[in-house]
Amino acid sequence: LKGITIAIDGPAAAGKSTIAKRIAKKLGYTYIDTGAMYRALTHKAIVQGINMDSDNELSDLLRQTEIVLLPVNDTQAILIDGEDCTEEIRSQSVTAGVSKVAAHGTVRKLMVEKQRDLAAGMGVVMDGRDIGTEVLPDAEVKIFMTASVDERAERRFIENTKRGIHTPLEELKQAIENRDKADSEREISPLKRAEDAILVDTTSMSIEEVVDEIVEIAEK
Ligand code: C5P
């Protein structure tokens, strides 16, 4: 299976990146985590004290920022201006601020350009919120991945525990709901299922089952 594009969208913590990484590995494709790009900009904006309400300031900052997604074994490192910020972009402050940053028009325009450049001419699995609707509307395979909010909060809780982070479950659930609301209600490229995207509800599916289902769809 060579050179097709697989777009995976869906709400926060639905397992998109876990699944996308595995599919990319299975097919020998490149995985592109677009959420990490918005997180990278948010992290740098926080460090530099940039006004998160200003599309101008944020987009100027983005123009001066080099964001690199670097494949490392089975995962991916995120370099901001050459510095490894893989852990930092998952912090609570970044997670709390990223939806605001991602709602700005110029920021999104620049990000979408970068994402299309990254995807050009190769087999790609890209995950995010607007991949099937905006970034890669011609993707051969479009998936809209969901799971119940309780399941998503629980998965994030387990993942956090492994990383030594101990945010209460209720708090995680609230944060996920807040982010989904902000991402769904923003004016530009809100989170929504593309008309031609296949809905995959992973609530009671294993990682392997989801991977196999999507690979099967891709191979058709
Ligand atoms: O995928 P992840 O949860 O890391 O994304 C972080 C945030 O980045 C999302 O909550 C959303 O605000 C923004 N995002 C976006 N469009 C994308 C990917 C992420 O607006 N394609």
Handedness of CA 161, 151, 7, 124 (dihedral sign): positive
- For residue 2, give both structure tokens: 């060579």
Q: Report the C-alpha gap between 194 and 175 in whole angstroms.
A: 25
**Architecture in CATH of 5-219:** 3-Layer(aba) Sandwich (3.40)
Q: Is-contact 20 155, C-beta < 8 A?
A: no
Q: Is-contact 115 121, C-beta < 8 A?
A: no
Q: Is 7 in the pocket of ligand 1 (CB under 6 A)?
A: no
Q: Report the C-alpha gap between 101 and 108 in whole angstroms.
A: 9
For ligand 1, the distance from its centroid to the CA atom of residue 34, given in whole angstroms, is 7
All structural domains of the chain with their residue ranges: 5-219
Tens of pLDDT, residue by residue over 68-81, are 999 888 789 999 99
Q: Is 183 in the pocket of ligand 1 (CB under 6 A)?
A: yes
> Could you tell me if the ipTM is greater than 0.85?
yes
Q: Is 142 in the pocket of ligand 1 (CB under 6 A)?
A: no
For ligand 1, the distance from its centroid to the CA atom of residue 157, given in whole angstroms, is 19
The closest residue, in CA terms, to atom 19 on ligand 1 is 35
Residue 1 has pLDDT above 70, yes or no: no
Predicted confidence at residue 163, as pLDDT, reads 86
The closest residue, in CA terms, to atom 3 on ligand 1 is 12
Q: Is 99 in the pocket of ligand 1 (CB under 6 A)?
A: yes
Indicate the residue type of 50.
Answer: I
- What is the average per-residue pLDDT within 80-94? 96
67-72/30-33 β-pairing: unpaired
Tens of pLDDT, residue by residue over 19-76, are 999 999 999 999 999 999 999 999 999 999 999 999 999 999 999 999 999 988 878 9
For ligand 1, the distance from its centroid to the CA atom of residue 62, given in whole angstroms, is 16
| Closest residue by Cα to residue 40 from 79, 9, 74 | 79
Q: Is 129 in the pocket of ligand 1 (CB under 6 A)?
A: yes
Q: Is 180 in the pocket of ligand 1 (CB under 6 A)?
A: no
Alpha-carbon distance values, 127 to 21, 37, 57 (Å): 10, 11, 26
Tens of pLDDT, residue by residue over 116-161, are 999 998 999 999 999 999 999 999 999 999 999 999 999 999 999 9
